[in-house]
Chain A
Amino acid sequence: MTTLNLDRRSFLAASAAVAGASFLPGSLLAQDGPIRIGTLTPLTGAGGPYGPVMVKAVKAVVEKVNAAGGVKGRMVEIVSEDDQTNPEAGVRAARKLIDVDRVSAIIGTWASSVTTAVAPLCWESKTFLCTVSGADAITLLPHQGYLVRTQPNTALQGRKFGEFAVAQGGKKVFYLSPQTPFADSQYAAIEAALTKVGGESRKYIYDDKKPSYRSEVDEMLRYAPDTIVLGGYTPDTSVLLKDIYRSGFTGTKIAFGYSVNQKLLDTVQPELAEGIFTISPSPAAGSEAYKALVSLTGVASPDPYTTQIYDHINLVLLAIAAAGQASGEAIRSKIRAVSQSPDGVKVDNAVDGLKLIAEGRPINYDGASGPCDFTDIGDIIDCQFRYDQVRAGKLTLVKIA
């Protein structure tokens, strides 16, 4: 075995050389040339299952646009960084995208904490940010219009829960949820929907790591609700359902689509989950944009985040074309002109939209995640929701509305 002789001086010199060399490419970048867009998605960490497909969708869109001649003759280049589902790492990655790559927009931030951490860097450097995070606080940041999101905020989701409960004849709703960023705002929206029709509701926050929820369920029975809303995730909801079943509760049960999912149905006894309604934001399945996305990525039913980032890249490129300039400010000034122009021609992909813009016609982009119309603070105005019910142990579609 040979021993590697590495003294301190040469090690330091070598590492300095490596570190120095790694900073080189940035200085060689031209200021003009391709339009650069950054994706900042989770490729590792808790969001790891979603990020890679998201990047793939963006690259597929850009390939098509470049093949059709780019945006106003300029090619589009995607720089992808990993936010590691961690705001500290996300900020470092965003700094690199903004300062070194000089991207005009960052798209696809996933975790709410990452988005909140990255947003100030974006609006200060006049870089546009498109996100799929749901926390209500995000669009309330002082972002000066440099941010839009395609994920319905939790207040909108809560309203849908409340309205659905009322539509099922609910008058007395009990809301059970672990401590999540959205528990409070979601409950507020449910409460509002019920007070509107003279109903009432109560909230109960539980610890999501308990092995049994007897006392929580007793609390629920004391209130004697006709409807319960389950705000938790799959693991705690499985345990909770057991105790609810034992209590003999027969009213309506409503839960999130991501919590009462096929995985939950596979693991609990069939009678526990029977009859539960689930609600989840629905991509605009069946729309032309959705079909285009399916054929681009080869994924039969893309997850909501992929449909959203597909809309991000299309919208950003269209806004750049409409403004005739690739900067965050240009995107900010034109994004609503391409997403919701009232007399615009409906388009569902960037290539068609770019042609129309070149002809000088107004457009209105309708995407794979929904109509993509934004309020002044950057929330989407509406999107479709999907309602399912567990019937004979299977999730059965009730309606998409």
Chain B
Amino acid sequence: MLSYLLFTLTIGGIYAMLALSLNLIWGGVGMVNLGLAGFFAVGAYATAIVTGAGAPVIVGLGSALLAGVIVGLLVTYGTLRLRGDYLAIVTLGLAEVIRLIALNERWLTHGADGMSGIVAPLRSMVGSQAFNLGYLVFVSTVVILLWLLLRRLDHSPFGRAIKAVREDQELAAFAGKPVLRLKLQTFAVSAAVASLAGALYSHFQSYISPDHFQPLITIYIFLAVSAGGVGRPAGAVIGAYAVVAFLEGTRFVAELLPGVDPLQAAALREMLVGAALLLVLHLRPQGLLPERIQPARKT
């Protein structure tokens, strides 16, 4: 039971990082990134390949960040003139392209077999129970640090500038804000955070494959950010943990229901995820922790 809780909390932490990434780009600049699973995959594969070649884990994490930034910049450059729905479609396509590359470039990614035996740092030395505990502490620390940083970013002039771009791009440009640079920077940071989440997942699970990066996870993260509150880092984090608790908790609830066979329970769980999203949007469209707009400073 304990190791199950440790595992669930670690997964919650990784979802929280993805939620922070989405919150930054969606809640911050208002760019809809449906390709979250793709950036998650980029980070996971980058570190798996680099550490697989013998580099230490820290270099693996670094290269995941770098790979995320590069792909993030490429996408923003490629989609400069797109906003809203069109950007969403392109990013959705991008995630699929990344998945297909992972599937077909067998020399690099081992194709559909996936990459197994990714190093789990210190695991052979301390044993799996201590590793699980240590990894939870590590992931949670990263989440807290990211949350503090992104919260700080929100309150900084940079944070106000990107929200100005979100509200009205032309007006922000007219007011002298470098819209293009802001978008590039934010997307790159957001992509890097998602890639880092992928890298941490990779080292935690020791196995990744193209099947891991189906759009399903993107949907869970959108649910997390919508439930938590778009535009507020704390909301994204709480939303992510709530989604994982919900996904796991429904297993036990379904078992308690009498006369429900496993197939019905499975279908019920999927329906509950959809119903939860609808309920949140209906009852609290602004999310659990709504965005705080700072009043303009009095002069």
Q: Is residue A189 within 8 Å, beta carbon to beta carbon, of the partner chain?
A: no
- A11–B247 CA distance with the chains assembled, in angstroms: 17
Within 123-180 of B, Cβ neighbours of A (below 8 Å) are at 128
Q: Which residues of B contact A87 (CB under 8 A)?
A: 114, 207, 209, 211-212
A82 and B266 contacting across the interface, CB-CB below 8 Å: yes
Assess whether A6 is in contact with B209, with CB atoms less than 8 Å apart: no
CB proximity of B132 to chain A, nearest CB, Å: 10
Judge whether B212 and A6 touch: CB under 8 Å: no
B212 & A113 in contact (Cβ 8 Å cutoff): yes
Smallest Cβ distance from A354 to chain B, in angstroms? 25
Interface: A141 (CB within 8 A): yes
The residue in chain B whose Cβ has the minimal distance to the Cβ of A205 is B104
Instruction: Decide: A100 and B1 in contact? CB cutoff 8 A.
Output: yes
For A4, what are the chain B residues with a Cβ–Cβ distance below 8 Å?
A: 283
Query: Are B266 and A19 touching (Cβ within 8 A)?
Result: no
Contact of A22 with B253 at beta-carbon distance under 8 Å, contacts A27-B1, A99-B1 already known: yes
Contacts of B247 in A (CB 8 A): 92
B245 neighbours in A (Cβ, 8 Å): 15, 19, 22
The answer to whether A25 touches B262, judged by C-beta atoms less than 8 angstroms apart, is no
Chain A, range 109-127, C-beta contacts under 8 Å to B: 111-114, 116-117, 120, 124
Q: How far is the CA of A96 from the CA of B253 in the complex (A)?
A: 13
**Contact between chains at A6 and B284 (CB < 8 Å):** yes
Partner of B211, one of A8, A12, A111, A141: A111
Which size class do A's interface residues fall under? 35 or more
Q: Smallest distance from the beta carbon of A132 to chain B beta carbons, Å?
A: 16
Q: Does any Cβ of B come within 8 Å of A52's Cβ?
A: yes
Interface size on B (CB < 8 Å)? 52
What residues make up the interface of B, taking CB atoms closer than 8 Å to A? Answer: 1-5, 7-8, 11, 103-104, 106, 111-114, 116-117, 128, 205-207, 209-212, 214, 216-217, 242, 245-253, 255-256, 261-263, 265-267, 269-270, 283-284, 288-289
Out of B1, B5, B117, B262, which one reaches A80, CB within 8 Å?
Answer: B262
Given A19-B246, A95-B3, A180-B112, 14 more pairs with CB closer than 8 A: A6-B284, A19-B249, A52-B263, A87-B114, A87-B212, A88-B216, A93-B251, A96-B4, A99-B1, A116-B116, A117-B207, A117-B209, A135-B112, A179-B106
Check B11 against A92 for contact (C-beta < 8 Å). yes
- Cross-chain contact of A22 among B1, B210, B248 (Cβ < 8 A): B248
User: In residues 243-273 of chain A, which contact B (Cβ within 8 Å)?
Assistant: none
Q: Do A96 and B112 contact each other (CB < 8 Å), given the known contacts A12-B288, A124-B128?
A: no
Taking a contact as CB atoms under 8 Å apart, the answer to whether B248 and A96 are in contact is yes
Interface of A is mostly: helix
Q: What does the 1/0 interface line of A158-187 toward B look like (CB < 8 Å)?
A: 000000000000000000000111001000
Alpha-carbon separation in the docked complex, A134 to B78 (Å):
40
Complex interface residues of chain A between 93 and 112 (CB less than 8 A to chain B): 93, 95-96, 98-100, 111-112
Are B270 and A96 in contact, with the CB atoms below 8 A?
Answer: no
Are the CB atoms of B263 and A181 closer together than 8 Å? no
Question: CB distance A113 to B4 under 8 Å?
Answer: no
Chain A contacts to B: CB under 8 angstroms: 4, 6, 8, 11-12, 15, 18-19, 22-27, 39, 43-44, 51-52, 55, 79-82, 84-89, 91-93, 95-96, 98-100, 111-114, 116-117, 120, 124, 135, 137, 141-142, 179-181, 184
Q: Closest B-chain residue to A138, C-beta based?
A: B113
Residues of chain A within 8 A of B255, CB atoms compared: 25, 79
Q: How far is the CB of A149 from chain B (nearest CB, A)?
A: 15
Contacts of A117 in B (CB 8 A): 114, 205, 207, 209, 212
Ordered by A's residue number, 20 sampled pairs between the chains whose C-beta atoms are within 8 Å are: A4-B283, A22-B252, A25-B255, A26-B1, A52-B263, A55-B262, A55-B263, A86-B212, A92-B7, A96-B248, A99-B1, A99-B3, A116-B113, A117-B114, A117-B205, A117-B212, A124-B128, A141-B116, A179-B103, A180-B112
**Which of A19, A86, A100, A180 interacts with B4 by CB under 8 Å?**
A100
Expressed in whole angstroms, the Cα–Cα distance for A19 and B244 within the complex equals 10
Chain A residues lying within 8 Å of B288, measured Cβ to Cβ, are: 8, 11-12
Q: Which residue of A lies closest to B217 (CB)?
A: A88
- List 7 A-B pairs, minimum CB-CB distance, nearest first: A99-B4, A80-B262, A22-B249, A181-B112, A82-B266, A43-B266, A113-B211
Residue among B210, B214, B289 with the most chain A CB within 10 A? B214
B262:A82 contact, CB within 8 angstroms: yes
Q: Which residues of B contact A19 (CB under 8 A)?
A: 242, 245-246, 249
Distance (whole angstroms) from the CB of B117 to the closest CB of chain A: 8
- Cα-based distance from A41 to B179 in the complex (angstroms): 49
- A350-B12 Cα distance, complex, nearest whole Å: 41
